[in-house]
Structure 1
Amino acid sequence: MDPRLPVLYDAENAWGRDDDFFLGTVAETPGARVLDLGCGTGRLALALAAAGHTVTGVEPQRASLDAARAKPGAGRVTWIRGTSAGLPDAAYDVALLTSHVAQEIRDDDEWARTLADLRRALVDGGWLAFDSRDPAARRWERWTPDASRRRLALPDGTTVDAWTELTEVRDGRVSFLHHYALPGGEELRSPGSLRFRTEAELRASLAAAGFTVERMYGGWAGEPVGASDDGELIVVARAAA
């Protein structure tokens, strides 16, 4: 990962309704031991720790983890560079995969292994919550250079023009390229690919891993699936005993 990307990520991903939702969901378990898998630059992990939870942030990208560790309050969080494979058994009350990190796990066998690791890492009756975009909403059709163009304000006062280019849609995977026009004329490009799983696919994979879906929403205000322009599949599941 280019070390400049975490700064750009933070500039265009401020606190939002998704963070409010996950913070509220974890608050249902006061003083929880929380795993934030794919914690990125730590926005939510830091807020969870400030709210009184015991938080572990796990992230495979060194640049993102370095950015998280440099933020105020970072000492309250246990930061680990790694993946779900290294998680301890029965160590957490709540596990989160936020900011659509579940879709970054593109291979279905890897997704199954990740869910199995999370079930192992949660106590019986523990909670798993995550978000995944609903393929029925076809949100990727909005990922065009014109529709996605945005201007980012960086901490040093400079601005960056950004846009997203859709490159491929095939077999449930959507690939794209983020463009960032940096000061001085350089253009930084960041490719990505996301797996769009249907509600049925998510439910089946969760059941196979030992989870029971308690709630599933289509929007951040708790709307039913398909009833919100948010176009989400927001899952709250319990680890079966």
Structure 2
Amino acid sequence: MPDRMFEHPRLTAIYDALEGDRSDLDVYVSAAQDVDARDVLDIGCGTGALALLLASRGIAVTALDPAAGSLEVARRKPGAEQIRWVQGYAGDLPALQVDLVTMTGNVAQAIVDDDDWSLTLARIHDALRPDGCLVFETRIPVRTAWTEWNRRDSFAVREIPGVGRVESWLETTEVNGPVVSFRWTYVFVSDGEVLTSDSTLRFRERDEVESALVEHGFTIREVRDAPDRPGREMIFYARKASASASSVAPQPIREFRRFPDRSCP
């Protein structure tokens, strides 16, 4: 079931304003350019920020998300008619063939269950053309990001046009090994309404992610440091392996750089 922040109409209406700068999406736009992608599948598209960026560049985009509330916001945006919006999870995907699959933000980590993670990777593999690419990000567990998820360190205030002042913060509620749960709190100062949204993420070690990718038929091409969160997040670049291909030893995490060729990095 999608988190409340992606379904409640008052929260989906302010989601983009609270997200602010989306320079984190530059990595994915560059990936699409680097592989000369004609078709992209964006899993966990949310309110459509990346999907719309790609569509504006002439790329055919299929955008998948389980949250009807987020998709409703996305479909109202200029240019949304160019995108194929699909409500559901990876197992609900229609048959399609794409050059690139993306999972931005918390999408990969929000797939907590092992069986769901396996199904997602399998369906991504099915959807990719030969030598197609998968790009996604995940936090580095040893950095223990959840230790900073408290009101003192996360409290923020935004003035949102048509809404007014909104206060927000997040707090860790449970840590169970690699699985971390937390709660966002939102205060609408104009009328005092308080809304909360609970989320859970899985923090997978790098070797765990690499093993899952290889097991599901991917060649790991690169693991890069996230440019917007250096030292805190990894960005995985994987290619759909041919039947005879073997895994390629992944490179050390490095600073982000563009690749000049048109193949998956």
> Which TM-score applies when normalising by structure 1?
0.93
Q: Is 2:217 the partner of 1:216?
A: no
In 1: Cα distance, 2:37 partner to 2:235 partner: 23
Helix, strand or coil at the partner of 2:9: coil
Alpha-carbon spacing, 1:218–1:111, altered in 2? closer, same or farther (3 Å): same
Choose from 165, 186, 190 the match for 2:171. Answer: 165
Q: Is 2:183 the partner of 1:191?
A: no
CA RMSD of aligned residues (A): 1.5
The answer for the alignment partner of 2:122 in structure 1 is 116
Matches within 5 A, 1:174-189: 174-182=180-188, 183-189=190-196
Alpha-carbon spacing, 1:25–1:55, altered in 2? closer, same or farther (3 Å): same
Displacement of 1:210: 0.6
Matches within 5 A, 1:10-89: 10-89=16-95
The answer for the alignment partner of 2:235 in structure 1 is 234
Matches within 5 A, 1:197-212: 197-212=204-219
Identity in percent: 38
Cα deviation, 1:214-239, whole Å, max 9, x if unaligned, reads 11112227x9xxxx34x001111001
The answer for the alignment partner of 1:98 in structure 2 is 104
In 2: Cα distance, 1:89 partner to 1:186 partner: 43
Displacement of 1:165: 1.1
Alpha-carbon spacing, 1:92–1:162, altered in 2? closer, same or farther (3 Å): same
Helix, strand or coil at the partner of 2:81: helix
Helix, strand or coil at the partner of 1:4: helix
Runs (5+) with no aligned partner, structure 1:
none
Displacement of 1:207: 0.6
Which letter maps to 2:91? A
> Which TM-score applies when normalising by structure 2?
0.85
Alpha-carbon spacing, 1:123–1:73, altered in 2? closer, same or farther (3 Å): same
The answer for the alignment partner of 2:147 in structure 1 is 141
Question: Following superposition, which runs of at least 4 residues in structure 1 exceed 6 angstroms of deviation?
Answer: none
